[in-house]
Amino acid sequence: MASAASDLLGAGLSSLGLDPCHKPALVEYLDLLQKWNKPFNLTAVRSKREMVIKHLLDSLSVMPNLELVRRVCDVGTGAGLPGIPLAIYLPDTHFVLLDSNGKKTRFLQQVANQLDLKNIEVVQDRVEKYHPQKCFDVVISRAFADLNRMCRVTHHLLSDDGRWFAMKSQTAESEISDLDLDFTVQKTVNLKVPFLNDARMLAIVKQGERNQ
C-alpha cells in the first residue's frame, strides 16, 4: 500500500479508537482487493485512499455495536464489506460472507486463506436459498437492499432475539418510516467515519409485534 494511504489508515484507526495491531492485515486485504479488482470488478472505488475511507473505515465504524455478538451473516457481502474488516478485529466472532457471485466468493476465499482468517466462512448462494444449520445473532449489510426487503428476504437467517444491522446513508429515513409492522427499529446510530464527509448511520432492527 502507498505510504499516504497507509498513514491515512493508521490515523483513521486511531480516530475510531481501534488498536493498530491489525493494520497489517487490513493493508494486505486492501492490496488483494486492488489486485483482483480489475479482472473481477469487485468495487467501483479505484484509489487506495478512497478504499481506506469508504471501505475499511466505513466498515469498522460499527465495531462498538458488535463486540458481544458471536455469529454474523454479511449478506450481499460483495468484496467482503463490512465482513472482512470486522472479522479481522473480532477473531472470536464467526462471520458468514454470503454472495451469489462466484467471482466475488472466489476472491473472498483467497483473502480468508491468505490472511488465515479462521473465523470466516464463505458461502456462494442466493440469500433466499441459503439455510444455515444455526441461525445468526446479527444479519448485516451495507448495500444489499432497501431496509424492508433486507429484513423480509433474510428473516429465516436470524435467531429469535437476533438483530438486523443495516448500514445506510442519512437519506434512509424514508426506508425506516416505510418499514412493515413485522419489523421494529430498535435504534439508529450516527456513524462517524473518519475523513468521510457523507453522513452515515446504522439502523438496528428487531422483529416487530406481529412476529413476537
The pLDDT, as a whole number, for residue 212 is 46
Strand-by-strand arrangement of the 120-124 sheet: 120-124, 94-99, 71-75, 136-141, 158-169, 200-207, 183-191
Find the domain containing 111 and state its range: 54-211
Q: Are 193 and 57 in contact (CB under 8 A)?
A: yes
Q: Which residues line the annotated binding site for S-adenosyl-L-methionine? A: 76, 81, 127-128, 142
Q: Are 72 and 136 in contact (CB under 8 A)?
A: yes
Q: Which residues line the annotated binding site? A: 76, 81, 127-128, 142
Count up the domains in the chain and report the number: 1
pTM value > 0.85? yes
Q: Is residue 95 assigned to a domain?
A: yes
Q: Is residue 131 assigned to a domain?
A: yes
pLDDT tens figures, 56-75: 999 999 999 998 899 999 99
Q: What is the DSSP letter of 44?
A: S
- pLDDT of the chain along its 212 residues, tens only? 668 889 999 999 999 999 999 999 999 999 999 999 988 888 989 899 999 999 999 999 999 999 889 999 999 999 999 999 999 999 999 999 999 999 999 999 999 999 999 999 999 999 999 999 999 999 999 978 889 999 999 999 999 999 999 999 866 788 888 899 899 999 999 999 999 998 899 999 999 765 54
What nine digits make up the cell of 33?
482487493
Mean pLDDT of the chain: 93
CATH code, 119: 3.40.50.150
Q: Is residue 19 assigned to a domain?
A: no
Q: Which long-range contacts (CB under 8 A, 24 or more apart) does 44-48 make?
A: 48/1, 48/2, 48/5
Q: Is residue 161 assigned to a domain?
A: yes
